[in-house]
Each structure stands twice: as C-alpha cells, then as structure tokens.
Chain A
C-alpha cells in the first residue's frame, strides 16, 4: 500500500510534469486538475489587474497570466490576494516590451488590491483636526494608504479607465513621471496624483516633521494637509482603553 505522503508527493510531481505518467487516464485527469487550478489563478489575475487587461486585451493578458501562473503559482488559498509579483513579471514579459509602461500600471493595480482589502479604520478628518492634533504625536497612515513613484503617468492612466472618467481623460494625459497616492476613505479605492511636497509631507513621522518636509520642498503645508485629510490618507488615533 502506498503511504499517503508518498502518494501526494508522487501526484504533485506528476501535476508539475504530466509526462511522467504512462497511464493515459491519469494524464487526462492531471490535465483537468492543472487546467482548473491554472484557470482559477488566472481568473484572480484578471480580477486584480483590470486596467492592465484593458490596455493589452484579453488574449495577450491570458498568455502572460498563464505563464505567470506556471512560474509563480499561488502559495495560499486566498486567490483574491494572488499576484503580488505580477508587475515585475510584466516588465520582463517580452511580448510587452513595446509597452514599457505596463509594469508601472500593474504595480499600481497591486497597491489598489492591497488597499481594497486593508483593515478598516476611521480616517483622520477635519473634525479631528478641529479638536486639535499634537504636532509631535505620530502621524499614522490609514491601513489602506499606499504611495508609488512611477516613471510613467500610471495614476492618470488608471483614473482614465475608471467608470466615472470623462471620454477625453486618456487623451489629456501628459506622458510624464507621476507620484500616485492610493487611499480608501469610504468603500471605494481612490488613486490620486500628488506632487513632490505632498509626498514629502506623507513621509513625516509627526505632523511637525511632515510640515517641515513639505515646506522644504516648497509646498503649501496647509493646503497639502487639507488635501490629505480630505482623501482619508491618515488614520485617526484611537485612544487606548480608559
């Protein structure tokens, strides 16, 4: 009798290389199990990278995703989080070499997925500000907040693919480097284009440091802080216990 561990090891090895089996019935079954798992992982990539899909088309995306699933199969069952290494894979995928912006778009989409499933937390808002913020207390990002620097206008391209984008949003894009800020204040994940002083503000560990950072980059500290509060970039401090 084959021990369970030996069976699972042998079956796993055959799944990885179906030609190892001489039995046609086994090879047919292996093909079904491979296809089902590959499709599940590929479907997760389609769900998590919709703008990339829209840019390259379904057939080209399917080819790239199928190859990614082969070399970086899921490590855990939560496929809604699958694909964390997809953007460097896209950067290196030779059929996409003439579209070198795709990797940056995919990297931004990964941050959008992370933001979508990040922990819920009340954002720091103007009302909290009115109650007073100690400039030396730690300024914490909301769990969903992400920042990405791209050599391409990744944030503008992403925004142009959203349902509420105007018809000429894509044509209006200036093909320049961009800093993207990803937030989730309510239900929807938002992507904003921010400038260097705003990014400097976000790097501050306290309000005082954030303000000094932004000012040193020539930013208008008050308007930057107001903008970041309005998009829910920071987490409200929740008092611990009573």
Chain B
C-alpha cells in the first residue's frame, strides 16, 4: 500500500482509527510518548501498527545540540522501532538540551559550518544506533539570528549528502518562519532539493496572543490554513507526491473532522500521482 496522507494519532481516536479503511492512510506518533516499558498505550500503538504504516516522530533527539544524543534515549528509540517496524523515523533540526534539562521546544542556532559538523555527527550517531536513516524536519523560526554560513535549504541538503538522512518538509513551519523572519516562503519551498524529501507535514498556526509581538506561532491547534495548502500544492507540483501528515496536537477535534483535512491532502496527492501516471 502506498502511503498518501496520514494523521497524527491520538489515543482517544484509537477505535475509529482501527476501523478506518481510507486508502493510503497512515499514522504518526510522537515517539517519546511510547518510549516506555509497557502498558496499554504501547499496546494500542502496536495494534495500530498491525493495520497501518506508522511513522515515529521524535521530539527529543536534540540533533543540533553540542551534546550528542543520550545513549539511553537512543536505546529506547531503537527498542520502540524494533517493536513497531515504522515506515519512517524523524526528528527536528534544533537543539533542546541545556544544563541537564530538556527544553520542550525546538531552539534555533546559527547555521555555521561547525553547526553542520555537529549536527551531521549527531544524525550519524542516531542512524548508527537505529541501523537505518532518519528524516530531519525544518523547525519554525521566531528570530533572525546573526552568523549563518548557510541558508536552511543548503544546510539540510548538505546534512543529507553527508549522512544519508532525508528531509521532512514542514510546510507550515516554512510559512510561519517566512512570516516571522520576513523571507519568501515560495522561494524557500522552491529551494528544497526534491530527491531528499521523504515526508511532508501540514499543521495549523496562530498569531502570538501577545499583540505586540507580531509573530506567528506554530501552535498545531488549528486547521491547516489556506496559504499553507497553496504552498503545499506548489511543493508537490514540483517534487511529486510524498507521504503527507496532518498534524494536530491541541484543541483536538473529532476524528472524522481531522480525516476531512487528511482526505483533502489525499486527493491532492492522487491528482498529483495521476499527472505522473
């Protein structure tokens, strides 16, 4: 079965998810929520994995951190991957570790040559531990840091060339970053090399509740916006169909409502496939 459009899996949707028969449907979970010793939640994921392709989306590898990924974290991720047999494993181009703590967000950094060396080393360690390649996702950016040697697309392309990793292109993150840092989202979308794109994310965003900030926030608590759908079409028109996820992590609507968004992505992918056929 070809993976077309997937949905971020929520436990409260288990029964409906297990009985869904939509062609091409797959599910993604945040890996860390299932990197536990056992219990009903892990069993629910394994039941889902018997029917659907699963993507393990990490939020904790801290791939751009100057500290390498923690060995116990890698072992737990490997254990989960061995149980689930995921179609893809991914995490973010960001760092999260600071003074022994875990910052539960994706922090930015100057994309220097040294940062590329560090990130490539971390990605290689992860891939060695997992025995497979991973996908790396572009983060949402909220401040234009000084000191970059490389733009984001070049950084990710070089990272892929050096490590064999692929890219997870989050179209909403590009839209949010482009609005916050005032660059062209279309130009950024167009700059990503097609051959290394393994997955696409679509999600909703919101204006910062602080009216003075003027920032857009990658909140995952709203439907995918129309400009993000347009960027998505622009991307797949150029690069061809890719497994595409509707991400929703807050203000979760009923399963069927999320499936309407998912089916919209599925139809766009089908249309795009018919062009190639």
Interface residues of A (CB under 8 A from B): 1-5, 7-9, 11-12, 15, 25-26, 28-29, 31-33, 36-37, 40-41, 43, 73-81, 116-121, 143-144, 184, 187-188
Please determine whether A75 and B100 come into contact, CB atoms closer than 8 angstroms: yes
The docked-state distance in angstroms from the alpha carbon of A43 to that of B118 is 32
With a cutoff of 8 Å between Cβ atoms, the chain B residues found around residue A40 in the complex are 104-105
Q: A78 vs B59: C-alpha distance in the bound complex, in angstroms?
A: 9
* Cβ–Cβ < 8 Å partners of B110 in chain A: 1-2, 4, 7
Segment at the A interface, from B91-99, B239-247, B255-263:
B91-99
A-B contact pairs, 8 of them (CB 8 A): A2-B147, A4-B66, A29-B143, A33-B103, A77-B104, A78-B35, A81-B36, A143-B37
Known contacts A7-B110, A29-B142, A77-B32, A120 near B104 by CB under 8 Å: no
Q: Given contacts A4-B112, A28-B213, A29-B142, are A37 and B36 in contact (CB under 8 A)?
A: no
Q: In whole Å, how far is A1's beta carbon from the nearest beta carbon of chain B?
A: 6
Contacts of A119 in B (CB 8 A): 37-38
Nearest B residue to A11, CB-CB:
B107
Given known contacts A33-B142, A116-B41, A188-B40, A4 and B109 CB-to-CB distance under 8 angstroms: yes
Known A-B contacts A76-B60, A120-B39; the reply to A1 vs B147 at CB < 8 A is yes
Task: Considering the complex, give the chain B residue whose CB is closest to the CB of A23.
Answer: B143
Q: Which residues of A contact B73 (CB under 8 A)?
A: 76-77
User: What CA separation (Å) do A77 and B212 show in the bound complex?
Assistant: 31
Min CB gap B24→A, angstroms: 29
In the assembly, what is the distance between CA of A143 and CA of B38, in Å? 10
- B40 and A4 form a contact (CB under 8 A): no
Residues of the A chain whose Cβ atoms lie less than 8 Å from the Cβ of B82: none
Task: Give bound CA distance, A75 to B58, whole Å.
Answer: 16
Q: With A8-B98, A15-B98 in contact, do A25 and B32 touch (Cβ < 8 Å)?
A: no
Separation in Å of the B68 CB from the closest CB of chain A?
13
In the complex, are the beta carbons of B102 and A117 less than 8 A apart?
Answer: no
10 new A-B contacts at CB < 8 Å, known A28-B213, A184-B39: A5-B66, A15-B103, A28-B210, A28-B214, A32-B208, A33-B105, A37-B103, A74-B101, A75-B100, A117-B39
Interface status of B217 (Cβ within 8 A of chain A): yes
B144 within 8 A of A: yes
Q: Bound complex: CA of A224 vs CA of B99, how far in Å?
A: 49
Query: How many angstroms between the C-alpha atoms of A8 and B36 in the bound complex?
Result: 29
Q: Chain B: interface residue count, which band?
A: 35 or more
CB < 8 Å A-B pair total: 130
Q: Check A12–B98 contact: CB distance below 8 A.
A: yes
Interchain CB contact under 8 A, A32 and B66: no
Q: Which residue on B lies nearest to A32, using beta carbons?
A: B142
Shortest 9 CB-CB contacts between residues of A and residues of B: A77-B60, A29-B143, A12-B98, A120-B38, A29-B142, A117-B36, A40-B104, A187-B40, A119-B37
Chain B residues with Cβ below 8 Å from A187 are 40, 43
Least Cβ distance of A190 to chain B in Å? 12
A78: chain B residues within 8 A (beta carbon): 32-33, 35-36, 60
B216 to A: closest C-beta gap in Å: 10
Question: How many Å from the CB of A20 to the closest CB on chain B?
Answer: 14
Per the bound structure, the CA–CA distance linking A191 and B38 in Å amounts to: 19
Closest residue of chain A to B216 (Cβ to Cβ) is A32
Q: Does residue B172 face the partner (Cβ distance < 8 Å to A)?
A: no
Residue of A nearest to B117 (CB): A4
- Chain B's nearest CB lies how many Å from the CB of A230? 19
Check B114 for interface membership: any CB of A closer than 8 A.
yes
A9 CA / B250 CA spacing, docked (Å): 31
In the bound complex, CA of A121 to CA of B66 (Å): 39
Known A31-B210, A33-B103: A7·B142 in contact at CB below 8 Å: no
Q: Looking at the complex, which one of B105, B108, B142 makes contact with A37 (CB distance below 8 Å)?
A: B105
B115 within 8 A of A: yes
Closest to A120 in B: B38
Q: How far is the CB of A238 from chain B (nearest CB, A)?
A: 14
Q: How far is the CB of B32 from chain A (nearest CB, A)?
A: 5
Tell whether A28 pairs with B39 under 8 Å between CB atoms, given A74-B101, A78-B32, A79-B32: no
Closest to B217 in A: A32
CB <8 Å contact, B102 and A74? yes
The minimal Cβ–Cβ distance linking B191 to chain A, given in whole angstroms, is: 23
Cα distance A15–B143 when bound, in Å? 13
Complexed CA–CA distance, A119 and B43 (Å)? 11
Q: Is the CB of A33 within 8 A of B107?
A: yes
Whole-angstrom distance between the alpha carbons of A37 and B60 in the complex?
A: 12
How far is the CB of A31 from the nearest CB of chain B, in Å? 7
Contact B114 A3 (CB under 8 A): yes
What is the minimal beta-carbon distance from A235 to any residue of chain B, in angstroms? 12
Determine if B65 is an interface residue (Cβ-Cβ < 8 Å).
yes
Give the residue name and chain of the B residue nearest to A12 (CB). Answer: B98
* The residue from A74, A81, A144 contacting B104, defined by CB atoms under 8 A apart: A74
